[in-house]
Amino acid sequence: MGRNIGYGGTAPRVPGSVVIDLGRRMNRILNIDAENASCLVEPGVSYFALYEEIQRQKLPLWIDTPDVGGGSVLGNAIDRGVGYTPYGDHFANHCGLEIVLPNGELLRTGMGSLPGKDGVDNPTWQSFQPAYGPYSDGIFSQSNFGIVVRMGMWLMPETGHQSYLITFPRDEDFPAIIEAIRPLAQQRVLGNIPQLRHVIQELATTAQPKSAFHSSPGPIPRETIRQHASCLPVGDVSWVFYGTQYGDAASISSQLSLIEGAFAAIPGAKLRLPSDLPPEHYLHSRVSVCSGVPVLRELDWLNWVPNAAHLFFSPIVPTRGRDAQAVHDIVVRLHAKYGFDLLPTLCVAGREMHYIVNIVYDRASVDEKRRAAALMREMIAETAAEGYGEYRTHILFADMVARTYSWGDNALMRFNETIKDALDPNGILAPGRNGIWPKRFRGKGWEILGTEVEDALDGKGIGPSLS
């Protein structure tokens, strides 16, 4: 559907490409199996559409939605996106693919490759992921090896849920908060992927523009954030943890006391429930997202600057205070250098966290676009030098990020290129996606590794024949 806004949308890398819009007419929900708690969808099925169909059939099932519900269930899963119920690892909860290969052949993965009786779909296609032999699904995620036209997805049986937030008073609490989360997540006391946000986002999620808080140019000073946060429901705090617990009332209550006990190690930590907060507070939209109800509230922070566009920087960081602090320090320093507000959202699991930075910039300003691109490049390079890499990136930074995964004389990229050349010898599918270039493009100057993004702001595009 091209709704991976922040990562490039529908844009192809090579000018003159034909864009195949799978979102418009391939939008059928092919099956919802209430007993197996699964569905089979085409690429054009949005989170909203799937949610509405389940409600229409009155089934006791949840979908899992990312922060913004307008995107494709299939597209987000094969891009390895994230949601916030216990089924939030979308690729891990998909089950079976149908793929159009570059030579026009149709492939079914998993149990779907065993024909069902009398020509029907195999009855276990949406029940068991790998089937027999090499597990091929992974190479069709974040790749340009085929067009996925059907995907099975597991649905979660509905259950009780309780969202909450915990505030922490001091910026310096950051590594201690991460240390407190790790055991809770590893022991699965935390049943989903909670988010840790900086208090600046309490301002941004009011949907008011930055100019309502700060009128001079440049990043909003910490002291100004402090003054305005004091007037908001959470008060003058620093970090805000957004969590949700699942199950029956008794287990939720015992989980919450374990969580409160763990965070009590950080002086001043304070837990609040949705009932403690006014109806317009952002926590109420987390209640929806974390119980599988798609919303668009997250887009509110795009009011932050005029003509807002955004770009995500998304490194994977171990869930450890010192690693979290190392990445945070780089990100803070480079945001100051390039004059952007830092809007971090950490999606924290037991062993790693997705440290998501949302760079919000004015797309009418060539200067801001230049600075945003330079900030991205420097964050990618500096964090990679310390051993941290991105889980996903904007199409313009795909080559750079792909090159950071260079172990063994670029063994992984050489492997990907071998697969690309075998499956797509003519190089017709999405050249350059995720940094994988077909043979006929390779080594001809298509890769964006330096200042090409800034240099292309004259609007002429990026490519060897265009410069």
What is the distance between the alpha carbons of residues 398 and 448, in angstroms, rounded to a whole number? 8
Q: Which C-beta is closer to ligand EUG: that of 142 or that of 314?
A: 314
Q: Which C-beta is closer to ligand EUG: that of 168 or that of 301?
A: 301
Minimum distance of ligand EUG from residue 367's CB (angstroms) = 25
Q: Which of 7, 51, 246, 282 is catalytic?
A: 7
Minimum distance of ligand EUG from residue 345's CB (angstroms) = 4
For residues 147 and 99, the answer to whether their CB atoms sit within 8 Å is: yes
Count of positions on this chain that bind ligand EUG (CB under 6 A)? 11
Q: Which of 391, 403, 405, 442 is catalytic?
A: 391
Phi and psi dihedrals of 82, rounded to 5? -130, 140
Token couple for 5: 């806004």
47 carries an active-site annotation: no
7 carries an active-site annotation: yes
DSSP 15-80: TTPPP--TTTS---EEEEETTTTEEEE-TT-BHHHHHHHHHHTT-SEE----SSTTSBHHHHHHTT
If one asks whether residue 323 binds ligand EUG (CB under 6 A), the answer comes out as: no
Q: Pick out residues in 249-308 that bind ligand EUG (CB under 6 A).
A: 298
Binding-site member from 314, 383, 404, 416 for ligand EUG (CB under 6 A): 314
320 carries an active-site annotation: no
Q: Pick out residues in 2-61 that bind ligand EUG (CB under 6 A).
A: 6
Binding-site member from 182, 281, 328, 392 for ligand EUG (CB under 6 A): 392
Other C-beta atoms within 10 Å of 124: how many?
16
Token couple for 260: 């409160």
In terms of Cβ atoms closer than 10 Å to its own Cβ (0-12, 13-18, 19+), residue 219 is middle
Minimum distance of ligand EUG from residue 356's CB (angstroms) = 4
For residues 228 and 203, the answer to whether their CB atoms sit within 8 Å is: yes
3-state secondary structure of 152: strand
Q: Which of 3, 182, 392, 433 is catalytic?
A: 392
For residues 21 and 441, the answer to whether their CB atoms sit within 8 Å is: no
Q: Pick out residues in 334-373 that bind ligand EUG (CB under 6 A).
A: 345, 347, 354, 356
Q: Which C-beta is closer to ligand EUG: that of 88 or that of 110?
A: 88
Q: Pick out residues in 61-100 that bind ligand EUG (CB under 6 A).
A: 67, 82
DSSP 361-430: EETT-HHHHHHHHHHHHHHHHHHHHTT-EESS--GGGHHHHHHH--HHHHHHHHHHHHHHHHH-TT--S-
Q: Pick out residues in 99-158 that bind ligand EUG (CB under 6 A).
A: none
Q: Name the residue number minimizing CB distance to ligand EUG.
A: 82
Q: Which C-beta is closer to ligand EUG: that of 65 or that of 162?
A: 65
The bridge status of strand 29-33 relative to strand 38-41 is antiparallel
Residues binding ligand EUG (CB under 6 A): 6, 67, 82, 298, 312, 314, 345, 347, 354, 356, 392
By annotation, the residues acting in catalysis are 7, 391-392
